[in-house]
Amino acid sequence: MRAVAVSAFRAVPEAVEVPDPVAEPGRVLVKVAAAGLNPVDWLIADGMLDGVAPHVFPLVMGADFAGTATAVGDGVTRFAVGDEIFGQVGGAAIGKGSYASYVSVSEGAPVARAPKSVPLADAAALPVAGMTAAQILEAAAVREGESLLVIGAGGGVGTYLTQLAAARDVRVLAAVRGEARQRMGALGAAVTVDTTAQDLAAAVRDEYPDGVDALVDLVSRTKEDFAANAALVHDGGVALTSLHQEDPARAPQGVEVIGFEMAPSGELLATLAQAVDAGQLKIDIEARVPLEQAPAAIAKSRSGGARGKTLIIP
């Protein structure tokens, strides 16, 4: 089958031929309708988990998928042939990912039945970003009427987080880069700040002179940048980063700091699918890219400019 893989850590991703997976005991063989692209896919291909988990090469990239079960291995009870499912490819070894025509998924992996109200492929845009957004909202514990500054609101996690927060009547200030304000407004943002055209701190202070109740920073790669953004939170508020698991130093006194890590689950995916079917969560797709062109889409994700989610179609 065709798949997009790297031959070694940090190698350039390529469309290659790899053996078809089979439905081993406890696993479901899925014909992939689409894989969802996440920054973590190329971070893993760069060696982010080297020494943490075993890897197989050529390393087929990708975690998020949606597709149809075409075979089930011995002992599988949760799913049957023909089921339309979506989720994250789990497994002990990394490298048998979703950027492929078929994927083998453990029935214990974070997988659920796909939402029925959208094309099956679109569900591949939900798992990592949707679960991250839902769990960030719980972790930051923002309540109705409170203010939430989301930096990086235009990307995968940010577009879901904006919607989920707005649905709780949280007032979302969406910080984006160089994009249409109407788009974030349609997703529920109360205020959109284009950080390429406006000073973020000044724009936030205009709205909230004492600071916002909560910050979700999806972009700061250094503790210094995160600390500067956390200074926009008032005393007693919360500042969360999706990029540092360790306690990010130098956040202002009186601000609770959270280094967030997503914990995937099939139950949470089922909840997200319900939210989609109830019309409460839109899947905001920027691009649908044929598998052979996935290397260019990966390069684009690396260089920035995400506006919603990118799907890879085998």
Ligand X SMILES: NC(=O)c1ccc[n+]([C@@H]2O[C@H](COP(=O)([O-])OP(=O)(O)OC[C@H]3O[C@@H](n4cnc5c(N)ncnc54)[C@H](OP(=O)(O)O)[C@@H]3O)[C@@H](O)[C@H]2O)c1
Binding-site ranges for ligand X (CB under 6 A): 38-40, 128-129, 132, 151-152, 154-158, 175-177, 195, 218-219, 242-243, 260-262, 301, 304-306
Number of helical (H) and strand (E) elements in the chain, helices listed first: 8, 17
Interatomic CA distance for residues 201 and 241, integer angstroms: 17
Task: Give, in order, the Cα–Cα distances in Å from 47 to each of 7, 56, 92, 214.
Answer: 12, 12, 16, 32
Nearer to ligand X, 21 or 152 (CB): 152
203 CA to centre of own chain = 27
Report in angstroms how near the CB of residue 152 gets to ligand X at its nearest: 3
Nearer to ligand X, 146 or 217 (CB): 217
Two structure tokens written together for 131: 């679960």
Nearer to ligand X, 32 or 193 (CB): 193
Report in angstroms how near the CB of residue 109 gets to ligand X at its nearest: 17
Report in angstroms how near the CB of residue 306 gets to ligand X at its nearest: 3
Give the single-character DSSP code of 110. S
Report in angstroms how near the CB of residue 178 gets to ligand X at its nearest: 6
User: Which residue is at the shortest CB distance from ligand X?
Assistant: 155
Nearer to ligand X, 42 or 208 (CB): 42
**Residue 230 in 3-state DSSP?**
helix
HEC string of 153-209 equals: CCCHHHHHHHHHHHHCCCEEEEEECCCCHHHHHHCCCCEEEECCCCCHHHHHHHHCC
Report in angstroms how near the CB of residue 128 gets to ligand X at its nearest: 5
Report in angstroms how near the CB of residue 69 gets to ligand X at its nearest: 26
**Burial degree of 217 (CB within 10 A; 0-12, 13-18, 19+):** buried
How many Cα atoms occupy the beta-carbon half-sphere of 89 within 13 Å?
A: 31
Nearer to ligand X, 59 or 157 (CB): 157
Nearer to ligand X, 21 or 188 (CB): 188
